[in-house]
Structure 1
Amino acid sequence: MPASGTKFLALATASALGALLAVTVTPTAEANDGQRATSTDAALLAHAKKVAPLNAVANALGEQGRGAFADTYSDLHVDENGGSVTLLATDNTRAAKLVAAAKHAHPAINTALIRVQHAAYSRKTLDREIDKIFPLGAVKDASKEVYYGATPKADGSGITVEVKPSALRRVKAAQGTRLDGIPVTYVHGKIKTASSWRWNDSRPQIGGDVLVGNARKSGYVAQCTGGIAAENSHGRDYLITAAHCFPNGAGVYGEGGSTPGHWTGSHGKYFGKVTSTKDGWDAQLIDSGLYNGKGFNSDEADTPTGKWYAVNNVAYSYKGQRVCQDGARSFYNHKGVPCDITTSNDDYRYRIQWADGSLHNVRGVQGKGSYCGTEGDSGGLVFVVNDSRRRQARGIVSAGDGPGEIEWTEATDILHSFGLKLNPHQ
């Protein structure tokens, strides 16, 4: 494990993530995912019913906060136990209009669940400052970079910047306590190290399926997990997984072998080819070359084994909301589908290292819980349970710091960046 203790959630490096696997190609059929399920765990259904009004309110407020009311919107916090949604805003009058606009756009929401709290700065203002010091995408000269992460403070009072430990004292002395007048706190940072599996080797592949292909480090195999299945305006099928998994142009396969969960690294049946990467969202497209759900279909592999659920809607995550993730390695390590993950930070910039050694700045979400995931879960779908048949996409697994922390990038941003939509055809 690296000195930082940070893990990357895609099986492919020798230290943090397990042994690197020599490239072998052994096409072998594997078990199908099974049938789309009509029921799910009773506790998860009860939780979904309990928080549905809260999530509806949060989605409606967030929609306005990212749109016409970006000048006053700062943050949201969902209290699933207390049954309320706190809207942080810089102006009470504008906040009231934001709530009214959300109600107008979504008449069914219960505005009695909303609490308004004053914030010093809007998210737009804080993000503008963060963008200056932590632009998304590839890091061109890592030797000169001292910022490892950044996020707005939970109460909208300023920003927190994660700094290279050896440079922390120097940065504090040079920058002081404000950036362009905005209060800033500097803390030690870590690089999210990375390099790169549910079990299906026949079409259509879905979220949670095992992915195997040549790694970004030459001569090695990467194992990741399928995430968001989507299509373009012509109905062409794509599967989205983590950008750090495979290089552009790489062929992606199922896991070869007759026994699931043995991590052989051998190639099974061909899925498609990586055709596009958005490193700022840690996301890449696998093109099936097929259409209308024949190659990839918007479902996710879940429990019980052999069952799967339609993923037919998408939303952002907000502080306090619980999510699940269907990383394949967690499943085959007897962790099932981790669902005790609570969103702790809904706007988190962090730096991740790919297997080829390159560094990339990413924008996503952070969650914490007793168990959130492990290496090999990279690219897996992050979702919430809507009901006994449907799931809501929230994003894909990107990185983590031990089993109790996970980072994911958001489904809405990823789909928008690629110009795609979900494709739950079957």
Structure 2
Amino acid sequence: MTTQTAQTDAQVRADDRAHVFHSWSAQAKIDPLPVAGGEGSSFWDYEGNTYLDFSSQLVNLNLGHQHPDLVAAVQQQAGRLATIQPSMANDVRGELARLIAEVAPDGFEKVFFTNGGAEANEYAVRMARQFTGRRKVLSMYRSYHGSTATAISLTGDPRRWANDIGDNGTVRFFGPYLYRSAFHSTTIEEESQRALEHLEQTILLEGPGTIAAIIIETVVGTNGVLVPPPGYLDGVRGLCDRHGIVYIADEVMVGFGRIGEWFAIDAFDAKPDLITFAKGVNSGYVPLGGVVISDRIAKHFDDAPFPGGLTYSGHPLACAPGVATFEVFRRDGILERVRDLGSRVVEPALRAMAEKHPSVGEVRGRGLFWAIELVRDRETREPLVPFNAAGADAAPMGAFAAAAKEGGVWPFLHFNRTHIAPPLVISEEDLVRGLGVIDEALDVADGYTV
């Protein structure tokens, strides 16, 4: 490392530690990596260490670092019209809304833009409450919907615990998760049926006439990459129809190609009333999210004013790389390559790891979105680290992560799982190399098994 580079690294660290307040962290106990740059599926630090980004940062960098088409779109828009308020019509805002509507399920023509996924879920709930005149919202225990007031109340994972002081209209339920079934199921068919029976009982006991919406991540993201079993989402749709409840599909993490579909809901047998999105719509180059609104709900607001808005709703600098995203997806066959790489490369490699490593309890996923669930004991399925582990309790996962980073892969960890979620533009060569690093790092996890 040159003297100049060392000075830059030191300055970045000093400024960060002195002035940046980081999310979800005890500030004195973290040491953020100074990142010097990135390209494609990799990024690097000031010391010259390069990492394959197997988490796509926060599963948002679908088209990778510094994609030239997205960068050019931001630059060109900034030179033409940097911003305009949302009450005015704007060409790239309207074009992106049209493009989103064209790939959404039939009967979805309107898009409300937000600055990110949490706001998208906030506003979807607001729409559902206004539409139904009801207040309660049902969400899964294994879920993450954002950290703003209503979104964190909807969230099931432990990040809610210290923040559960906002929206008091949330009721939680168990979703399907055969590997750790709350319903003692032994088959995927049983799990789907019993999870639906549990949800129906929750609805009946809460009072169907009090429930505005059910919000579900189409594929549960951070909390496990839980792919819904056959018939489950269609069953949710049926329960919502029966009781006049709005079905919200949270596609913030899995929309725009993550599992090889424009919207993940396209891979399953159900149709929601509202679809929330963010992240992959423009790979996070400028903050953007939104709600795709079914015609029947949009019609409610033809004459009744919608009580909500944002200064930066549909910001041109965010919408421009969104439009470019559609162009890249279609030109480069992104959806097709995600499906191909997922089934031909990732799944066989992970199945082989599951056979080889005693620390692997289960692998699951689709496209370029997979989870490896790590255990101490395959027979009892005891997690490699306890639920919500921190400090010394989380050491085995920390050791696994260190081994992956030493091999040049930046992993995505949550509790006792590592997720496989690289940029959708990753080359097959890099994907195979990264999976090889994960395979070797699992040798470290194996050392903690019984």
**TM-score bracket, shorter-length normalisation:** under 0.3
- The two structures have a TM-score, normalised by structure 2, of 0.22
Which one has a bigger Cα radius of gyration?
2
